[in-house]
Structures are given as C-alpha cells and as structure tokens.
Amino acid sequence: MKLFVGLGNPGAKYAHNRHNIGFMALDEIARDHGFSPWKAKFQAQLCEGTLDGVKVLLLKPQTFMNLSGQAVGEAMRFYKLTSEDVTVLHDELDLAPGKCRVKQGGGHAGHNGLRSLHSHIGADYGRVRLGVGHPGHKDAVAGYVLRDFPKADEAWLDDLLRGISDGAAALAAGDGGKFMNAVSLRVAPPRSSTGTKPAGGKKPAAQNSAVQPQKPVKTATTEPATDARSALEKLVDKFK
C-alpha cells in the first residue's frame, strides 16, 4: 500500500492558490483513475483506489499547511505504514513554473508543510516537487504562494497535472524515471517531423531545384589528308 499526500490549505478560498498545487495533483489522479469518493478521516480528506494493482491512498490534510504532519502521522499509524511508503506532492519555489522533480528523503528547505512532516514522520518520505517559481525576494514568498495561479499559467499547469496523473502508476511502483517520462510527454512533448529520412542518411535533392541541361561534349575529329599523288601514281598503287 502507498500513501500519496498532497499539501495545501482547506477551503474554497485557497483552492486555486500556488500553495495548493499538491491538492490539485491528487484531485487529478482521483478523477482520472476512478478512485473512491473523498471522505473525512485522520483530520484530512481521504480516498482510495488502485494503480496497476497497487493499492493507493490519497490524503489531503485539512489541518492547514503548517500542521500537515498531524494528519499524515495518524494515517500512517492506522495503516501501519512507514515513511518510505509515503510520497508527498508539494509546491516548490526553487523550481521554474511547470518543472517537476522526484526526490527521496532530504531536508524541508523552509517549506512549512514539509517542516511539519519532518517533525511527525521523519525525513525519509518521497517527494514530488512541483515548480511554481519564486517571486524574487523572500519577503514576498507568503503573499506569492497564497495567491491564485494567473490565467497565463493555466496551460502549463494543466499539462503538469495531467502528466502527474499519467505517471501515477509508475510513481506508486517506485519507478521515478518512468514517472518523469510521463510528465515530460505532457509538459514538453517531442516535436513531430513530417519529413522522411532517406536510406543511407543522405539528404534528398531539393525538389524545386532547376535541372541543368548537360553541355554537349566536344569530340576531336581528324581532317582527311590531301592526296598529292598524280593519276599515274594512283593507278600504279592499285596494282601493287
């Protein structure tokens, strides 16, 4: 069993804040993969389902960000899980908007939700760091993360959330590389090519290039030599 935790703040007021991108990611997974309805449990909203045969619990703490660890700790104790069974999806100021990174263990880097988790379950849980960008100055951070995503961010945000949902089964299986590939296919899909590469790797000649007519090759000709013999000498030569 795996526990996916999304970090955020409860209530409609915060629903579309940058700080709530973890909640948004879990909502996308739940919709796309037919999870059970959300229910109140462990000071959180909880639903469950399976991803490629792995049972997965989705948990959105309702204790506000700074106390997220309380709800996660309760759920872990109830289901007898370890911190290695937990993956936390959260906003990351140090990543550009739309970027995603997977990490196992480590520090909390000043993130209040992660700080609370550290105090309740230790530091060995997995993280999916979801880039929201940085406002440029630490004094502006609180206001920045507690504001809604602007309309200009809707396209990349939708691609990122869909990519997380696409790769959710790989994440549950512990395959971080496959998960990241799924995200990349949504966020930065490969460019399609309409041309075909000829055999041998040679570039085809341009179809619209003019065909130059071949110049005629001049061949050397030998002029017949002038016969200076007399008529009698010619006659004599015929009978030799």
Q: Which residues are catalytic?
A: 19
Chain-centroid distance of CA 78 in Å reads: 34
Q: Would you say 112 and 66 are in contact if contact means Cβ atoms under 8 Å apart?
A: yes
Strand pairing of 86-92 and 126-131? parallel
Chain-centroid distance of CA 47 in Å reads: 26
Q: Would you say 64 and 9 are in contact if contact means Cβ atoms under 8 Å apart?
A: yes
DSSP, residue by residue, 162-213: HHHHHTHHHHHTT-HHHHHHHHHHHHSPPPP----PPGGGPPPPPTTSPPPP
Helix (H, G, I), strand (E, B) or coil at 45: strand
Chain-centroid distance of CA 158 in Å reads: 12
- Cα gap 1→93, rounded to integer Å: 30
**Which tokens sit at 113?**
């939700």
Helix (H, G, I), strand (E, B) or coil at 7: coil
Place of tokens 């395959």: 175
**Which tokens sit at 215?**
């110049």
Tell which residue, 122, 129, 124, 133, has the closest CA to residue 176: 129
